A and B are shown apart, each in its own frame.
Chain A
Amino acid sequence: EVQLVESGGGLVQPGGSLRLSCAASGFTFSSFGLSWVRQAPGKGLEWVSGIGGSGGSTYYADSVKGRFTISRDNSKNTLYLQMNSLRAEDTAVYYCAKCSTAMVSNFDHWGQGTLVTVSS
């Protein structure tokens, strides 16, 4: 059974940093792309970033480009999202999502999410 467990969320001040993690199990981790998708309180889904199975290809939404960095450690079956220069509008539940192929393709499994709150 595919399991994705996010951690690392919390309260951070504007301009601060946070690193999210997503521990995966139940599938061959390095064979699948992964993405982060966020949902602001009461709002819709927004794709944030994606990374291919080997880690060689990464993609970012314009809203986070230059501030967020996605990475993965295939030896630890873990996905990361380093978030710098955080803004109030980054407040959201951040979901880790497994892609259906080795590329940043559609999301066939989702974690339960971790809440990030950016506030002073």
Chain B
Amino acid sequence: QSVLTQPPSASGTPGQRVTISCSGSSSNIGTNYVYWYQQLPGTAPKLLIYRDNQRPSGVPDRFSGSKSGTSASLAISGLRSEDEADYYCAAWDDSLSGWVFGGGTKLTVL
């Protein structure tokens, strides 16, 4: 059971916009930044969004992050086949004094 809650799966067709939610609590998302990671099949995770809504250089602006209260969301617009991957949210948890991840969302591009 992960501390952060994500839907196990999401899907969309090419060109569509999809969102992935991440729910936490006051000790993690409610007080600390949220980060999103993309893990393509058979590869290591890659930082996708940092500090709730910032994109590292090289990440397309089709990817965006937002946060409200104890929940966060990752939005992917103009969906492409290469976006098919697992997506994880993460945040520091003040109560646990450690990093916590969501269980991951497997995105399928139909």
- A interface with B by C-beta (< 8 Å): 35, 37, 44-47, 50, 59-62, 95, 100, 104-113
Contact = CB atoms under 8 A, between A and B. Distances in A.
B18 interface: no
Interface residues of B, number: 25
Contact of A110 (B46, B90, B92, B97): B46
Interface stretch (B19-27, B68-76, B77-85, B100-108): B100-108
Interface of B is mostly: strand
Given A62-B98, A106-B47, 8 more contacts: A44-B2, A44-B101, A44-B102, A47-B98, A62-B96, A106-B50, A107-B47, A113-B44
Contacts of B44: 95, 110-113
B88 A44 contact: yes
A80 to B, nearest CB: 19
B45 interface: yes
Question: Most B CB atoms within 10 A — which of A50, A95, A107, A113?
Answer: A107
Nearest to B46: A110
A100 B50 contact: yes
Contacts of A112: 43-44
B99 A108 contact: no
Contacts of A59: 97-98
Contact of B101 (A47, A62, A105, A113): A47
Nearest to A60: B98
B104 to A, nearest CB: 4
Contacts of A50: 98-99
Contacts of B45: 37, 45, 95, 107, 110
Interface in B38-81: 39, 43-47, 50, 56
A112 B43 CA distance: 7
Contacts of A110: 44-46
Contact of B104 (A45, A60, A100, A107): A45
Contacts of A46: 101
26 contacts: A35-B99, A44-B2, A44-B101, A44-B102, A44-B104, A45-B39, A45-B45, A45-B90, A46-B101, A47-B90, A47-B98, A47-B99, A50-B98, A59-B97, A59-B98, A62-B96, A100-B50, A104-B99, A105-B92, A106-B90, A107-B35, A107-B37, A107-B47, A108-B50, A111-B44, A112-B44
